[in-house]
Amino acid sequence: VSTQSTGMANLSMSARIEIETQNMKPTEVKELFLDNCKGTTIEGLTDKYSELEVLSMINIGLTSIKGFPAFPKLKSLELSDNKLSEGLEYLKGCPNIISLKIANNRIKEMSALEPLKLLSGLASLDLMECPITTGDNYRSEIFAALPQLTFLDGIDKDGNAEPDSDEDFELSDEEEEYDDDDEIDSEEEGEEEDDDEDGDEEAPEDEDDDEENDEGVEEEDSEEPSAKRTKLDENGVSNGDDVSNGLGEHGNNS
């Protein structure tokens, strides 16, 4: 459930929750975005949203998450751009969190992160712009304290970017090769279709040529009998004349 209207920015957390979940049963709410509303503590958010999987509370002004409800199915929690310095133990009722973003808060000491050891499935933690990140051995200390982590601030131990993070990373060679093959196949298919269309357009011309040839043959056939008839007629006339002349001479002799 997400509302983009800027008019939501000045609402209290309770009012914002009511708007975001209107016309829905609490158990139907799986995503809840409360960014930019106003509230220094948890207010109006209860465990009746037991199916909640994604919760975002960016730039609310939170100074404490005391009383954070138990959300057993919560996987992604976004608390960036607030004023939190401690209190992460209140997340103990959300044991299945995979991604936790608390960037740009006031976390200074490693002790503030100790409660996160209870989140055994935590794979991604974002602490960027928190004071704790200025330490010389910051990354190695965090990975040592939270061995379940795969990504810290969008980067793993080997320097690889998290796929869903904002870090820029290029496609692998296999993916690029796959995309190139797709483009080549598409071009070849397009050329084959064009050839088929050209062939279809040329076909009527061949048919016209065949029709002209047939007409020519018929004309030749019709002319030959006429010529033969004319020749026979001429012969017939000459032969007739010879016969009549012979009869005439015979009559005269008699």
Residue 108 in this model has a pLDDT that exceeds 60:
yes
How many C-alpha atoms does 63 have within 13 Å on its Cβ side? 1
Q: Is the pLDDT of residue 219 over 60?
A: no
Phi then psi for residue 15, to 5 deg, are -65, -40
* Nearest one of 2, 75, 69, 64 to 36, comparing CA atoms: 2
Residues 6 or more apart whose CB falls under 8 angstroms from that of 142 comprise 110, 113, 125, 127, 149, 152
Q: Could you read off the pLDDT of 110-165 as tens digits, one per residue?
A: 999 999 999 999 999 999 999 999 999 999 999 999 999 999 999 999 999 999 65
Q: Provide the whole-model pTM.
A: 0.64
- pLDDT tens, position by position, 73-92: 999 999 999 999 999 999 99
pLDDT for res 57: 98
Q: Note whether 101 and 79 are within 8 A (CB).
A: yes
Judged against a pLDDT cut of 90, whether residue 62 lies above it is answered with: yes
pLDDT of res. 10: 80
C-beta of residue 58 within 8 angstroms of C-beta of residue 31: no
Residue 247: predicted pLDDT:
36
* pLDDT for 196 beyond 90: no
Q: What is the CA radius of gyration of the chain?
A: 46
Q: Is residue 187 classed exposed, middle or buried when 0-12, 13-18 and 19+ CB atoms within 10 A define those classes?
A: exposed
Q: Where are the beta strands (DSSP E) in the chain?
A: 31-33, 54-56, 76-78, 99-101, 124-126, 151-152
Tell me the pLDDT tens digit for each residue of 169-183. Answer: 343 444 444 455 555
**pLDDT bracket for residue 250 (50, 70, 90):** very low
Amino acid 67: pLDDT: 96
Say whether pLDDT at 24 is over 50: yes
Least confident of 46-50, 92-96, 232-236: 232-236
What's the whole-number mean pLDDT along residues 102-115? 97
Instruction: Give the mean model confidence (pLDDT) for residues 102-107.
Output: 98
Residue type, 233: D
Burial class, 107, CB count within 10 angstroms (exposed 0-12 / middle 13-18 / buried 19+) = buried
Q: 79 or 167: which carries more pLDDT confidence?
A: 79
DSSP category for residue 228: H
